[in-house]
Structure 1
Amino acid sequence: MKSSAAGVVGIVALALVVQGHHVGIGYVVGVSAALSVIFGFGWPHYLGIPAKKTLGTIIALTGVGASLSVGLAVGPDYLMWTPIYIALGFGAIMVVQIIRGTGQKHRLESTLGAGAGVIIAGFACGWVASLRYLGEPGLTLIVGISAAVALLAGMLPWPERIVAPLTIALAGLAGPLAALIFSDVRILPAMALGVLAGAVIAAFHRLRTLSQPTGNWLSLISAALAPLLPLGSLLYFVEKLLLR
């Protein structure tokens, strides 16, 4: 997938998620679940593994269930049920890999790849948890802007050895600038958020550039969404560790 197309998909997804602070919890739950479904059905195609529909359904249901559980949870531990959904999803992946009759030689690779998809989709609910925990858009805007800057840096047609550190550095600088404009978050936590967001996106960008394009647009969109879905959980944990 071209970096420019991946960047556009990522920025659109970020805009949809960040808008949730102005619309409401129900909207964020819906967006998180919808992105999980798109990611879930595209991820097996991106990896090129067998049983694509079955594995895609499991990954999508994991993300939808986790998002709904966070939206309905009571108390500050909004991600309490998320590990259960991820464990159930990973167990279902293993069952499918055991009983299916094709691709036995690559069963381990299929299990690990689909399991990674379950984890990514499961942690997409972190965007909902972040909104419910803090209730104000400052931190979400910091992560969203930092991630958008990282995506824009990844669109540059330069060698990876230059793009990767540049992505992390620019995202780390964007975090404090966004904090100064949109919130009263201190500089160091904002910079930490920016650096972490940039590192995640740079890592997935490298993974995407190493893989071969499949020509399936659903799989390409899934690859573009992969680094963005778990950023919400990263934001949620940083909120709990640094700010409260």
Structure 2
Amino acid sequence: MSDVPEQQQAPEAAAPLTRRERRASSRRGPQVLPGRALLARPLTMVTTMAFAALVGLTSYASPGFVAVSVALAGLVLAWGWPQLLSLPSPRGTSTVLAVGTVLMTAAVLLTDEAPYLQWMPAAMAVSVIAAFLHQLMRRDGRPRLAESVSASVTGLAVISAGIALAPIPEVLHGDHALAAAMAGLGVGVLADPLIKVPLLRQWALFISMVLGGLAGMVVSVVADHPRLWPAALLGLLAAAVSHAARRVMAVLPATAMARAQLAVGASSSLLVGVVAYVVVRYFVA
């Protein structure tokens, strides 16, 4: 009897689809998005509108108050970010993000003259080092190490984007420009429920941009801002970036939880900061 094992038979190839089956499959289309991605989260919407109202009002008070408002959103993000991404070391990650928020806010508050973000790279670098030190000090065997590090650094990047809102009132007409951007952010979120309507789902982003642009123009007219179209551009881009961020994060399973919904609202609001800062620097200043 031979010691050579018998060769296993190759599995039979699946039968090809008929022309009728291929046509039926193409008509149905792939079911890509889960059901939770098609839900408008009221707590996320309220968080976004509250952030927009707070920053919009403080823009007329002082850049310091704007920085504190952004820091509050950063702390909310630090609290809910680990749950949103289901990270293995939630307390340590929240601590890193909170420390980063404090450092980057202090870097802006302690700068009295332009460029107001000159110490932001140093604060960001220290925060990233703290994120790596957190991983070194973990005592749980460090599961999902790469995912945890990347999530911490991404959270710090989102917070740093929001900190860019703080120096905008220092620019000529910057307070009106920041108010226009926040109006676009707060009004644009009203298009979120449209994702539940199949016929309007693909137009939700466009409708949000239109609402945001109109809101920015209204603020410009009410505040007697001399530049109408930059205000409309600020509102349009703020609504677009925020809406797109919420749609991306809506597929995460943890968005059913309240803390994660707060994190989605805070992160989608903070991401607007860099866009608003660039528009103000090149079209308003």
Shared fold (TM-score greater than 0.5)?
Answer: yes
Tell me whether 1:193 sits opposite 2:234 in the alignment: yes
Deviation of 1:104 (Å): 4.3
Q: 1:44 aligns with which of 82, 85, 99?
A: 82
Tell me whether 1:177 sits opposite 2:218 in the alignment: yes
Name the structure where helix makes up a greater proportion of residues.
1
Deviation of 1:135 (Å): 6.3
Alignment of 1:1-244 (within 5 A): 2-102=40-140, 104-134=142-172, 137-156=175-194, 157-159=196-198, 160-213=201-254, 216-244=257-285
Deviations 1:75-133 (A, max 9, x none): 22111111222222222223323443447452222222221101111232222211233
Q: TM-score under structure 1 normalisation?
A: 0.88
Q: Which amino acid aligns with 2:160?
A: G
Q: Which amino acid aligns with 1:158?
A: V
Q: In angstroms, what is the RMSD of aligned CA positions?
A: 2.3
Distance in 1, Cα, partners of 2:41 & 2:208 = 13
Q: Confirm or deny: 8 A CA contact 1:63 1:123 kept in the other structure.
A: no
What are the ranges of 5 or more consecutive residues in structure 2 without an aligned counterpart? 1-38
Seen in structure 2, the aligned counterparts of structure 1 residues 135 and 191 have a Cα distance that, compared at 3 Å, is: closer
Deviation of 1:167 (Å): 1.5
Seen in structure 2, the aligned counterparts of structure 1 residues 4 and 158 have a Cα distance that, compared at 3 Å, is: farther
Distance in 2, Cα, partners of 1:112 & 1:74 = 33
Q: TM-score under structure 2 normalisation?
A: 0.76
Distance in 2, Cα, partners of 1:30 & 1:19 = 13
Deviation of 1:72 (Å): 1.9
Distance in 1, Cα, partners of 2:211 & 2:158 = 24
Distance in 1, Cα, partners of 2:165 & 2:108 = 9
- State the secondary structure of the residue aligned to 1:189: helix
Q: Confirm or deny: 8 A CA contact 2:64 2:166 kept in the other structure.
A: no
Deviation of 1:26 (Å): 3.9
- State the secondary structure of the residue aligned to 1:74: coil
Which shifted more, 70-79 or 168-177?
Answer: 168-177
Distance in 2, Cα, partners of 1:103 & 1:200 = 37
Q: Confirm or deny: 8 A CA contact 1:10 1:225 kept in the other structure.
A: yes
Q: Confirm or deny: 8 A CA contact 1:129 1:233 kept in the other structure.
A: no
Deviation of 1:2 (Å): 4.1
Q: Which amino acid aligns with 1:174?
A: A
Q: Confirm or deny: 8 A CA contact 2:71 2:102 kept in the other structure.
A: yes
Counterpart residue number, 2:35: none
Structure of larger gyration radius: 2
Deviation of 1:206 (Å): 0.9
Deviation of 1:48 (Å): 0.7
Deviation of 1:228 (Å): 1.0
Runs of 4 or more, structure 1, over 4 Å off, are none
Q: Which amino acid aligns with 2:197?
A: W
Q: Confirm or deny: 8 A CA contact 1:150 1:170 kept in the other structure.
A: yes
What are the ranges of 5 or more consecutive residues in structure 1 without an aligned counterpart? none
Which shifted more, 117-126 or 16-25?
Answer: 16-25
- State the secondary structure of the residue aligned to 1:137: helix
Distance in 1, Cα, partners of 2:205 & 2:227 = 26
Deviation of 1:197 (Å): 0.8
Q: Confirm or deny: 8 A CA contact 1:130 1:233 kept in the other structure.
A: no
Aligned length: 244
Q: Which amino acid aligns with 1:230?
A: L
- State the secondary structure of the residue aligned to 2:144: helix
